[in-house]
Amino acid sequence: MHTDGTREHHADHNDMHHENHDHSGHGMHDPNGHDGMSLNKMAASATLHCLTGCAIGEVAGLIVGTVLGWSALQTIVLAVVLAFFFGFTLSTLPLKKAGLGFFAALSIVFAADTLSIATMEVVDNVVVAAIPGAMSAGIVDPLFWISMAIALLAAYAAAYPVNRYLLTKGKGHALVMKYHGHEH
């Protein structure tokens, strides 16, 4: 049991240790411990990061499916597979660069990004499928690109709260960010 004097001594010691601790490279601290990046900014960054891979995969899948004259279902399946492929690839490469082995990096990315990408893919494909004529629009048809833009915006809006929630639990993109120097 600590007396008030002992507590004050420990508090003073902790304050002195914190003041004397080298904070260079830590950036600004915020109350959530996210080194200068607010929770909302981290969630936005994580969501945009996932959206980039999803958009590459979606656009590539829809172009290939449209050019080959595939059915809507075949095109959607290809687009989803490619979205996961590009999403995971874009997250794995920086972890490999940080020194992680391929399978270690991939397992972290799988745990970090799967829910976000899955959320985006469900919303994205439901929106595209719901827009009349979007699935049969050719790649030179403005409807193709307008529907993609609407679907990707809707996917971002749906995945943002998912990523924000996961970050509050130390899950999702938080697993990846510690390898990018965002956590100490």
Give 125-139 pLDDT, tens digit per residue.
899 889 999 888 888
- Residue 121 inside a domain? The answer is yes
Write down the pLDDT at residue 178. 67
Exposed/middle/buried for residue 91 (C-beta within 10 Å: 0-12, 13-18, 19+): buried
The whole-model pTM stands at 0.72
pLDDT tens per residue across span 7-23 = 444 444 444 444 444 43
Domain that holds residue 73: 39-179
- Residue 22 inside a domain? The answer is no
Write the DSSP symbol of residue 33: S
Q: Which residues contact 95 (CB under 8 A, 6 or more apart)?
A: 104, 105, 108, 109, 176, 179
Write down the pLDDT at residue 40. 92
Q: How confident is the model at residue 46 (pLDDT cuts 50, 70, 90)?
A: confident
pLDDT tens per residue across span 136-166 = 888 889 999 999 999 999 999 999 999 999 8
- Residue 149 inside a domain? The answer is yes
Tokens encoding 108: 């972290």
- Residue 19 inside a domain? The answer is no
- Residue 11 inside a domain? The answer is no
Tokens encoding 79: 């687009």
- Residue 184 inside a domain? The answer is no
Average pLDDT rounded to a whole number, residues 58-80: 89
* Reduced 3-state DSSP string for 155-174: HHHHHHHHHHHHHHCCCCCH
Write down the pLDDT at residue 87. 92
- Residue 27 inside a domain? The answer is no
- Residue 135 inside a domain? The answer is yes
Q: How many domains does the chain have?
A: 1
Q: Is 100 helix (H, G, I), strand (E, B) or coil?
A: coil
Distances, alpha carbon 40 to alpha carbons 44, 72, 160, in Å: 6, 36, 9
State the sign of the Cα–Cα–Cα–Cα dihedral 134, 137, 139, 143.
negative
First CA to last CA distance, the chain: 31
